[in-house]
Amino acid sequence: MNCRLGCGACCIAPSISSPIPGMPEGKKAGQRCVQLDKNNLCKLFGDPSRPAVCLQFKACEDVCGSNNADAMWRITQLEALT
């Protein structure tokens, strides 16, 4: 599965403990990443400064569901379980 352009759920729903450019302490679950633009696209996509956790994320139907709202719900639920 390819990421749905403009979804952004993986950049909002989960916590990220590693530093992100502009967010040296990472981000809390539910907090919008500062690198997510107004169209919900990552400004660091393809940039070597993109955090490893972001590089390693692979979209799949189990995590991302069938639409953006489903992805946000599923990732939020996974975050709550961890």
Q: What is the DSSP annotation of 47-76?
A: -TTS-HHHHH----HHHH-SSHHHHHHHHH
Residues 6+ apart with CB under 8 A from 78: 14, 63
Query: Which pLDDT tens digit goes with each residue over 46-70?
Result: 999 999 999 999 999 999 999 999 9
Tell me the C-alpha distance between 64 and 45, whole Å: 18
Average pLDDT for residues 12-18, to the nearest whole number?
96
In degrees and rounded to multiples of 5, residue 38 shows phi and psi of -65, -20
Q: What is the pTM of this model?
A: 0.91
